[in-house]
A and B are shown apart, each in its own frame.
Chain A
Amino acid sequence: MKNITEESKHFLSVQDMVVQYRSEGKVVMAVNGVSFDLDKGKTIGLVGETGAGKTSIAKAIMRILPDHSTYQNSGKVMLDQEDIMSIPEQEMRKLRGHKLSMIFQDPMTALNPVKSVAEQIAEAVRLHSDSNKVQAMKRAKDMLELVGISADRANEYPHQFSGGMKQRVVIAMALACDPMLLIADEPTTALDVTIQAQVLEMINALKEKLNTSMIMITHDLGVVAETCDTVAVIYAGQVIEYGAKEDIFDRPAHPYTVGLFKALPGMNKSSRRLSPIVGMPPDPTDLPSGCSFSPRCPYADDACKRDAVGMQEITPGHTCRCLKAPL
């Protein structure tokens, strides 16, 4: 079912992704029509506050949203010319961990406490290659060495590792089958600054070696600066600004993005976390009408609060969801 349209020239193309959860009788509108593209070997950064819907986007691409609480999930994901949202689960399972894989946000809980780390890595290897147990174990140990963990410790269990080492194990697991697309969900937030740099360097090196495409999810603009080619700024489940890293960093157009950079205490200081934009992110069970940033926006007027705002092009390849842009 190959379908060569304009978008599918890209290695990955996500179109109109919607994710809604059911929670205590309410519908949580976590992702509301997200679209972006990614080319082979490139990295896109998904940046946004906590609760913006970043992890939900990642899980939706992997098709591992939790059955029990997912209310609705729609959209189209073209990966390497194949619409992976519509293939049968069995086919999708063969791609997961192989063609596309994911590094989970919280290394403390991402590993199964009752299986040795090597076992957990080897499992993925065995599922996606015809290697036997011994070969898979060998590969698992090689992967551990690659992320800087001695193969002697392969048979130890997650509780015997520090947080940073667990994060490395998670990375080794995600990379064990040479994925073509790697989704890294805040791979460094759980780590201290020095380890952060090491881990990022490691991911970058591995990525280059395998020519892997990557979705880097983070709320750390420093990480974006170091790893990404393009950036999508996510706010309340929507892409509100999208473009090359240089566009976003040098010429931010959306008041929210501008706020993000203003909130930084100076790019060479160690603390690069986002936050101080006045007000709170909107409640995903009750999104405001019009632009969802309008309640917090210093430039908003009545027009902003009336109708949904579409994406408009600022310069070629740089788009923004704001009536006032560029400021």
Chain B
Amino acid sequence: MELSAGTITRVNGPIVEVAGMRRLGVGELVTVGSRRLPGEVLSLASGGATVQVYEDTSGLRPGEAIAATGHPLSAELGPGLLGGVFDGMLRRLQDAGSWLEPGTLAGALDPERRWRFTPSVRAGEDVGPHRVLGTVPETDAITYRVLVPHELAGKVEMIADEGEFTVGEAIATVAGREITLAHRWPVRRPRPAAGRLRSGRPLVTGQRAVDLLFPLCHGSTAAVPGGFGTGKTLLLQQIAKWCDADVIVYVGCGERGNELAELLEDFAELEDPRSGHRLMERTVTIVNTSNMPLLAREASIYTGVTVAEHYRDMGYDAVVIADSTSRWAEALRESAARTDELPAEEGYPPELSSTLAAFYERAGRFRTLGGEEASVTILGAVSPPGGDLAEPVTAHTRRFVRTVWSLDRQLAYARHHPAISWTDSSSRDAEAVAAWEAAEGNAGWAGRRREALQLLFDAERIASVAQLTGVESLPAAERVTLISAMLLREGVLQQSALSLNDRNCAPSKQAALLALVLEVHRALLASAGQGTAIERIEALDLSDVARIRDECAPDDVDAIARLQADIQGRIGQLG
């Protein structure tokens, strides 16, 4: 379906000028040259257009042809995305060649594969937008729901019987329109929902520093700023593996190929502890590594959210992880520079802030058009140049997200992982989580969080005094605080991504570990208060408290209770 064709008049890197095209729209996707490279229309002038090409234009010449597609950059949404690996434009990478030659990638979905479809409506029924027409077992973990398009309502004129269909075959006709398993959606346009809902249950990540101190809810947003090597990727990957969402969309945006290869291996091997299914079955991986084309990197973020919204519309809780949003912002900056837009801060285009805001706005807990409650959560890494947290991308992002896990270089140097700073991080969802926990019968959650933060802050203040005066001159209670804060850091907040026992921590074990440290703290304070010499307290070997997280299974609460009793006994014997 060639809508209109024109001729290239100029090639300047990814920017191409064309003549002889009519009826093009700004933002429309075109194919460029004999290799049919994808491009996007940037601007129009009489008889001509400027096009930005998504792949390397080496060898492209004036005189080559260009063709319109009639639609903007869009994602092909249908069964077969889960478990797949795609580039930033949602083109399938698994079956592609070893080297990504320009013009060689195909679409997202396998056009040949047949899926088992089971209808859930009858012919003659009246259906509205996003009503479920039928289901497909996309993976063992997730059932794909075929929905009525968002702008369509009316009678089901035809509905297929249970059977096998390719993504392009019609499985229903509604109000005169044929419906297939797959459809396209323009990635820069948010998919519609009926309305927003208040935040609900917490997103359990299995990571203690997150769940206990700086939590977030399903449908919320979080950013992870931190210099290189502070642990952004590992933290986000841990969450991708262990959080309690239904669907994960992992977007490797301008980052490393090696770490993605490792992650994919993990997804293929690891099981979701809740469902027992392999993690791969709930995950869509979008990879546009740092050496892949810049424009597709810019698109990858939108592609990722669009895929997540698609599963949200089916009623699922989806999480989008974007590592790193700074590389996305850089891609924005590059395309702005090429179009001679006047730069604002540090060369970024003036719309950086509104673009970031609009991206995070696509997160939320929604009432879907089909009437379900579902959510999109967005987590983004931020890579500040020179670790400078005042730079534009970091500064703006902090304003738009609800939770910030700020990674601290000093903690990372000291190999305290995850290096989430307790002074620089924040969570605007903490109250909502506290209320939810209380309603679930965990009334102690908020109190323990408050106590833990207090202990960390107190220890920080006391340590800075001790730097000047020496520890000896501190009152006993303050020296106890230093001991307890160390136990809190080593025994609760540190969590190795490499430890089989510790990489994922059930909420019950999380609570038990924190309670253990707080109880030990109280017992030590009491002992000191009753006159036990502080030196004897400091000589106590409490290393088991730091070690138990690694030594007992991810949900072994009893081992922690036994240790607590044992240690309280030992403290009791002191005085």
Query: Do A and B belong to a common assembly?
Result: no
- B residues near A (Cβ < 8 Å) are none
- A residues near B (Cβ < 8 Å) are none
